[in-house]
Structure 1
């Protein structure tokens, strides 16, 4: 029988991973429900389940992207850019803590120190980056990343606009509802990014095995 091409995922594994991702999403939403059910309406604070889980998901996604970068050279520029983007998002999520315990504007400084070298390397190798990006965009990981990126950095921001929720709820408007809608949508976006980075790492491993490295 012909071997499976390195870009393909076998059907049984696809089903198994799909089930695992469904269970992950279900577990996260159960955690959100428990946080929302806390007495006194104290849910969705900086130290609550949703905020802490967002940081944890970004940390995992960044680590997975870094592992993919170290494991293979096929997408070295794309994976480096992903490390920069996810790492910058992780730092941004800690803005309140950094401003309070390091110095005001610390997160902007750290993001700049991370992003500028990454952009320099990517721009310097822009031809290789363009070819890698075309390949990444055609993959399962690339599709998941695009969905997670749009959900997190576009849809959640627009969905969480105060004026929209004021128009929807009128006199019954509560800021907690608006904040919950935005934070939960952002949590789902980060979950997609984690899954995308896991699929990227698995894809890079398949390519490495196919190449006999």
Structure 2
């Protein structure tokens, strides 16, 4: 029997639309988001836009300033370094649990996602590649067993996707190749149940991703 999956709410649809505008830089870093214009563009109420913006504030893409309005969160060096430092801390913690506890079906899932990502890379399907990358990381959280860490990581995905687009704009397919190399190496290390080696890989990857984004922002 298939599990019930509720349809996406209007608030979530609004948030996802604005999230994509920010990720693709149709709404720029620090730019004000006008509720009236956005409501007209999406043919929804001002209240729906406001609720979507509140959700995006929780996801670190928008800052709501009292009596001034909503603004795209500035993408600067402090933000980028903070993001990757936090992701590294959380993913290293959950990765160690995965190394200790994985079962054969977990590895099959990770390897399947890796193969799908390689196919998308060869077909130059950028959006599908990035979405699969998020699914790959979510699959690695299977043994996290920590509500707060999983919730925090979920709220960081939109910013991670935003940064990925910035890096891709500057670095092109080399950035995708680096992702695939990291995943192939991490799968091997997880199979070997080597916690420290996985922590080292995650650190190198976080530093590399961070520097790619900062390099793109400075050009």
TM over 0.5: no
Q: TM-score, structure 2 length as denominator?
A: 0.30
Whichever structure has more strand as a proportion of its residues is 2
Q: TM-score, structure 1 length as denominator?
A: 0.31
